[in-house]
Amino acid sequence: MGSLALILSGCSSGPLPTPMVTATETVEVEVAVTHTATSTVTAEPEPEAVESETPEPEEPAAVSAIPKPDAAQETELLVRLGGIDARMADDRSIGRARNMCDSMLADARSEGGTYTLVELVKMRFYEDLSDSQGQSVLDAIDACGWCE
């Protein structure tokens, strides 16, 4: 609930008029009196919103459209990637490989993008990988069977 506040200001040297206020619900009101007058403010309560008895259905959580390897495929992928470069034998490489898979699938559906897939591998994993290593990463992702 709000509170009722009256602010009175005037230029007269005499006592300020006392406004008459009637309220059926506590509300916040500001009244400024510049001339001698009586003000009446009546506040009616607003009807309360009636909650619907049937709740709105919640939207399902977004599901990623990027293919995801199962546990065995993750293990195989990490072994293959670690064989290309030891820095890639960590869990971050799974997310990077999923992003590469998405790019591989998009490239197969289109004319290709600004970058080649090997360039994207180098950008997502390590820029100092050779082109041959980049291609090996693509081959490893493809060989594990989850990127479809």
pLDDT at 74: 97
Let me know: does 118 contact 125? Beta carbons within 8 Å: no
Q: What is the pLDDT of residues 50-65, one digit of tens each?
A: 555 666 666 666 667 8
Let me know: does 86 contact 55? Beta carbons within 8 Å: no
pLDDT at 8: 47
Looking at the predicted structure, is the pLDDT value of residue 6 above 50?
Answer: no
Percent with pLDDT over 90 in the chain: 49
3-state SS track over 18-62: CCEEEECCCCCCCCCCCCCCCCEEEECCCCCCCCCCCCCCCCCCC
Let me know: does 74 contact 96? Beta carbons within 8 Å: no
Beta bridge partners of 20: 40
Domain boundaries, the chain: 1-44, 71-143
Report, as an integer, the average pLDDT of 85-107. Answer: 94
pLDDT at 71: 96
